[in-house]
Every structure is written in C-alpha cells, then in structure tokens.
Structure 1
Amino acid sequence: MRKGRWTTAAAAVVVMATGTLGAAVPAASAVGQGTPRAAALSCPAGWGSLPKHGADGSQVQRSLTGIRTGRHDCYDRMVFDVPGASGKAPGYDVAYVKTFRQDASGAVIPVSGGAILEIRIHAPSYDPETGTPTYPGRAGKKLPGVDLTGYRTFRDAKFGASFEGVTQVGLGVRARLPFRVLRLPDRIVVDVAHRW
C-alpha cells in the first residue's frame, strides 16, 4: 500500500510541475490493486510551425495521383500519393502564408480558416511525358473527393496549380498550429496538430 501511494504522489507532483503527464512518466498503479490505469493520451510534441522543406529524393519525376485526408486523436492528416517504382518520394515545401496565391499567375485563391498552410509537392498532377492529368485538381477549386466536415483542425483545402513539375495546395486550418511532414517511398504526409 505504501509503495503505491508514493508512486501516485510522485506522478501528481510531475503533473503539477509540468502541466502534463507525458509518456516518460509511467501511469500510476491503482492503490491497493497492482493493475495499471489506462495510460493518458500522449500527443507528439515539438513539431513547431516554421517552414519545412525536403529535397528531391528521386532521380525520376513521378506524378501526383491522389490527395486524401484522415482524422486522428491528436492531429488531422493530409496524404499526397506519389507512387513510383523505387526510391524516396519527391521533395516538398510546406509553410504558413498570409495569402494563398496561385503559382505563375499570382492570382489570390481564398482559403477559409484562421491560418493557411501552403503545401508544394515536387510532383506534377499530370504525366510529364504525355501531359495526361493524373490528379483532377482545378485551380482555385476544392480538392476532389476531400470532405473536411467534422475535422478538428482542417477547415478548407483548395488546389492552386501544377506548374513546372510542382503541385500546390492551400490548406486552411483553425489557427497557426504545429505541423510535421513525413516522406515515405510512395507518399508525403502532412499532419497538423489539434493544439500546441
């Protein structure tokens, strides 16, 4: 009994000192029972909101074929599908902007939300050899097949352009929140946290 009380007390002090009970601190045992309590949800931290860049990792230019989204406990996710034979996914540039402007023309594209993330994937939305579209995005329009109803962070998503081998998307979010970018062999993932 005495050992369980000390573990609980120590965890309470950590929570009061830091404001959170992180993954580094094990959940306290129930007093007198020896069975662990359900661990509190621990969201990733340290992503920040500064621009993020990734150099091209593939020698062969691949095309964007799809954009999809998903909801998670700690963040909302947008996935850019860029399938290919081998190697790393293409490069990317992701940053908060005051105004979303279409590449080449500079035309302003309105995007709803408290902040706008401009996402630039170094892959065209067409086949570079034939010019045949591989993704049906249209300048200034909502992303085809993407419904953001019920998302905690995402508010709006508009297609900007596919110009000189780079596809541009404007993602409206609730506020300027931390985000991360993951590059996998066949896709690039952008996660935006629900809170700081």
Structure 2
Amino acid sequence: MNRTTVRRSAAALALGLVAATAPAAVGASSATAAPYCGITWGSLPKSSAVSTLPAVTGVRAGRHACYDRLVIDHKGRATGFDVRYVSQITADGSGNVIPTRGGAKLQIITRGTRYAAPPAMPNVTGYTTFRQVVWAGFFEGQSTVGLGVRARLPFRAFTLYDSATNTSRLVVDVAHQW
C-alpha cells in the first residue's frame, strides 16, 4: 500500500467509526420526545421589573387545550412580577403557612401594587392542572396569590396592558403536562 491508500483507508475507517457511534437520525425513533403541545416554557422562576403602583382588582381562571390560565387584573399598568415554585404558600407580612391543595405550589407576586381589598379567588374545581387559588395578602407594595397545581409543570408569565382603559393583566399559564 502506498501513502495515499493508507490515508484514504484511515479516513474511511474514521468515518465508519463516526457513523457507527453517531446518534440515530432525527426521523428515527429516539428517547427524546417533542415538547407537549409545543410548550417550551420550563419551570424555573419568571420575573419582570417593578410596576407603577396598580391596584389588584380581580383574579380569574380559564381552561385551554394545553394549559390552565390564571389572570390577575389591575387598575393601572402592571409590569412587575415574580412567579416561582415554592415549598409552601405563606401569608405576606406574617409568614404563616396558607394550606394550599396540590402537588406543587406557585407563588405569584405582583410588585409595586397599592392596597386594595382582597379580591375573590376563582373556583378551579375540575381544572386539569389547577387545584386551588389562595390570597396570600398585601405587604410593603406587593400583592401575593398562591396557586396549587397538580405537579411541578412548565409555566409562563407575562403582562398585557390596555391603554384605552388603563388596565392590565398578569397572566400565568401552567401546562397540563411536560
């Protein structure tokens, strides 16, 4: 064998080893599944900057094909929030545990809010993911809502603002599954 033949044989051997150890093609069966309903949100905390002192005016819930939705209504522009999984929902100010049904708990804080009477919490009986919504209070410019969910599932949080009515909504969507 000459040098060129040896180089070509070595290259072919290397390519054969790479092909033999390469993962299966995308179209082939693999252990990695596609995201549920295309959801790629994850379950890590979500937050945004401080808001401009809106007042919480209501809390409501809705059901969708791939997720359950919680909406916190505000009078004024609300952009400051922090949403995360916690081990327990605690009352603002006192730190007392608020019993909340569900395998996991989301703490939803609206920052920079001014005091308003606690709104009624929606009944989420029969929802796929939600188990209970609780008011955790108002303290030092923030309002807190606790959300009991079936399990620690992916979620997203964002705000919507309507300049015509000067109202906004903090929206929290929790997927039905991973």
Task: Please say if residues 62 and 90 of structure 1, whose CA atoms lie closer than 8 Å, have aligned partners that are also in contact.
Answer: no
Which one of 94, 102, 114 corresponds to residue 91 of structure 2?
102
Which one of 93, 109, 113 corresponds to residue 102 of structure 2?
113
Aligned partner letter, 1:48: G
The answer on 1:148 being equivalent to 2:163 is: no
CA distance in 1, matches of 2:133, 2:38: 24
CA distance in 2, matches of 1:175, 1:45: 16
The answer on 1:181 being equivalent to 2:157 is: yes
Residues 76/114 of structure 1: CA separation in 2 closer, same or farther (3 Å cut): same
- Map 1:24-35 to 2 at 5 A: none
CA distance in 1, matches of 2:127, 2:114: 26
Task: Please say if residues 70 and 173 of structure 2, whose CA atoms lie closer than 8 Å, have aligned partners that are also in contact.
Answer: yes
Identity of matched residues, %: 50
The residue aligned with 1:39 is none
Which one of 48, 53, 56 corresponds to residue 47 of structure 2?
53
Q: TM-score, normalised by structure 2?
A: 0.74
Task: Please say if residues 121 and 135 of structure 2, whose CA atoms lie closer than 8 Å, have aligned partners that are also in contact.
Answer: no
Give 5+ residue unaligned stretches, structure 1. Answer: 1-12, 23-41, 127-132, 138-143
Aligned partner letter, 1:52: K
The residue aligned with 2:56 is 64
The residue aligned with 2:140 is 164
Which one of 2, 11, 14 corresponds to residue 27 of structure 2?
14
The residue aligned with 1:78 is 70
C-alpha deviation, 1:124, in angstroms: 3.5
The answer on 1:193 being equivalent to 2:169 is: no
CA distance in 2, matches of 1:82, 1:19: 39
Structure exhibiting the larger radius of gyration computed from Cα positions: 2
Task: Please say if residues 131 and 149 of structure 2, whose CA atoms lie closer than 8 Å, have aligned partners that are also in contact.
Answer: yes
Residues 151/123 of structure 1: CA separation in 2 closer, same or farther (3 Å cut): farther
Give 5+ residue unaligned stretches, structure 2. Answer: 1-25, 162-167
Which one of 51, 73, 79 corresponds to residue 90 of structure 1?
79
Task: Please say if residues 57 and 75 of structure 2, whose CA atoms lie closer than 8 Å, have aligned partners that are also in contact.
Answer: yes
RMSD: 2.1
Residues 65/123 of structure 1: CA separation in 2 closer, same or farther (3 Å cut): farther
Corresponding pairs, count: 146
The residue aligned with 1:33 is none
Residue deviations 1:162-185, cap 9 Å, x none?
Answer: 111111111000000000001111
Aligned partner letter, 2:177: R
Aligned partner letter, 2:158: L
CA distance in 2, matches of 1:19, 1:94: 27
Aligned partner letter, 2:174: V
CA distance in 2, matches of 1:69, 1:15: 40
